[in-house]
Structure 1
């Protein structure tokens, strides 16, 4: 049962970190520079942790590296949803836009964000290259895979697009959310995620080394969350209740965002962030 505590830790870390991101990107735009400054400091600490702990194979080092990988991924998510790193396209798609043209527009909206994710993965890999402790890298890559699969499914069409989690200043993203009973990618995504989760759980259960068992247990928990997140896209579940504490309850916060209509430039934060 030594794998039980790591699984609980991974679940809590995912839930809490997701809630913090939801909370920060729903705040007034003037707060975004401070949110990103704090997140960038945490990112630097995470990268330093991965580098200094690359040769440490203790259980504590596994937890630390895994947490650092999740923190690095959190920086990527916050940078997107605050509008700091998005893409060259700033406008919503016109009604009726579909096919490869629509897919190209979706890529353009998030292009710099996706490139930043690749840069982050390469940097983390270099910091722990050929080292014994690479759990932070695997956590980051697994979260990237979850992210990519979920976004493709939402683009192709699912029952629950979770538009309520898209902050007002990123309304442009809603033009790429598609309501459908099912898409052809979804069964493949769920099958792959389930297979990966089972394999990681088996590795955790059969590992004799406590640190290795901890690492696989942490990754298995993330893989199980990938399966759960995909089913959230299809099943009529009140997902918002998981993070109700992180969503804004003050009308003043929404009124002070200085929100522009979705067809305007949502990344022109410099003027809105100026004192």
Structure 2
């Protein structure tokens, strides 16, 4: 029973990311339609999570997770296409440092982070009391790992993997740091490994196949998050994993100076 849930986690991570890269790399005139269509699909996914929360069967658990991934993808597309980001959309002034730089960086993504947090609360609200919390937990896990990744990018990492970064968000690169190490990174990895262990332990402890499958999916997603964090510090251009999904006509971002 262990392998299928892990394959579900891997498929959600790989094909979900590829789908967003493909949609974001299409001509700009298509973005509003893609965002709207995925928004409608997300409403259906929200309803699905609410209904599936009543069942702890394996199918219901998988359906809840996939629905949460779809909603997550809508948020990611909204960010990458510039629909939901933050009030600040200009490069970081070179003289900014310390708290002033952090506030400026936060202003570039704060609307997106608030939207994610509110969505997580909504998912738990519509499924509250149900035995199947796989979808809301998956969304919350992705939110935590993504927030950690953004903070690591701000503090400085070795590998930015910005080859498929959209050109209209090139200003964000000025807020990234390039370092061989940062103080948050080991704690981020420990958080991811801890989440992996907790989910795996919960899967082993329950006698219900559906719940076991759900916790195993969460363990897989958490471990994939750890791998993503590790790639931030390794000299590996992991963006090649998604390059096949990006359309050739996608605009390329102009490299910008990054703070050391």
TM range (shorter): over 0.9
Rounded to whole Å, the distance in 2 between the matches of 1:23 and 1:97 is 35
* Whole-Å separation in 2 of the counterparts to 1:73 and 1:254: 24
- Find out whether 1:141 has 2:136 as its counterpart: no
Farther off after superposition, 96-105 or 196-205: 196-205
| 1:132-174 deviation line (CA, Å, top 9, x unaligned) | 1111100000000010000000100010112223201111111
Number of the residue aligned with 1:8: 7
Cα offset, 1:260, TM superposition: 10
User: How many residue pairs align between the two structures?
Assistant: 256
Q: Distance in 2 between matches of 1:40 and 1:48?
A: 13
Cα deviation, residue 131, structure 1: 1.4
* Distance in 1 of aligned mates of 2:202 and 2:128: 22
Please name the residue that 2:171 is paired with.
172
Asked whether the equivalents of residues 159 and 182 of structure 1 are also in contact (C-alpha less than 8 Å), the reply is yes
| C-alpha contact (below 8 Å) 2:23/2:31 kept by paired residues | yes
Aligned counterpart, 1:213: 212
- Provide, for residues 18-52 of structure 1, a one-character-per-residue CA deviation record: whole Å limited to 9, x for no partner: 01111111222111111101110110111010111
Kindly indicate whether the alpha-carbon contact (under 8 Å) linking 1:3 and 1:205 is maintained by their aligned counterparts in 2.
no
Counterparts of 1:85 and 1:61 in 2: how far apart (Å)?
A: 30
Which whole-Å CA distance do the structure 2 matches of 1:127 and 1:174 have between them? 37
Q: 1:157·1:180 contact (CA, 8 Å) conserved in 2? A: yes
Partner of 2:203: 204
Matched, 1:243 2:247: no
Partner in structure 2 of residue 78 of structure 1:
77
**1:254 paired residue number:** 251
Deviation at 1:90, TM superposition (A): 1.8
* Secondary structure of residue in 1 paired with 2:195: helix
Normalising by the residue count of structure 2, what TM-score does the alignment of the two structures yield? 0.93
Moved more, 203-212 or 103-112: 203-212
- Displacement of 1:244 after TM fit? 2.2
Please give the residue correspondences for 1:157-196 in structure 2 after superposition, counting only pairs within 5 Å: 157-196=156-195
Q: Are the counterparts in 1 of residues 49 and 126 from structure 2 also a CA contact under 8 Å?
A: yes
Give the distance between the partners of 1:36 and 1:18, measured in 2 at CA. Answer: 15
What are the equivalent positions in structure 2 for 1:16-95 lying under 5 Å apart? Answer: 16-95=15-94
Query: Residue 27 of structure 1 contacts residue 248 of structure 1 at CA under 8 Å; is this kept in 2?
Result: yes
Give 1:261 deviation, angstroms: 11
- Name segments (4+ residues, structure 1) moved above 4 Å: 259-262
Matched, 1:104 2:126: no
- Inter-partner Cα distance in structure 2 for 1:180 and 1:261: 17
Does structure 1 conserve the Cα–Cα contact (< 8 Å) formed by 2:162 and 2:239? no
Tell me by how many angstroms 1:62 deviates: 0.4
Q: Cα deviations across residues 80-112 of structure 1 (Å, max 9, x unaligned)?
A: 100001111121111232211111011111121
Give the structure-1-normalised TM-score. Answer: 0.89
- Is contact 1:166–1:173 with CA below 8 Å preserved after alignment? no
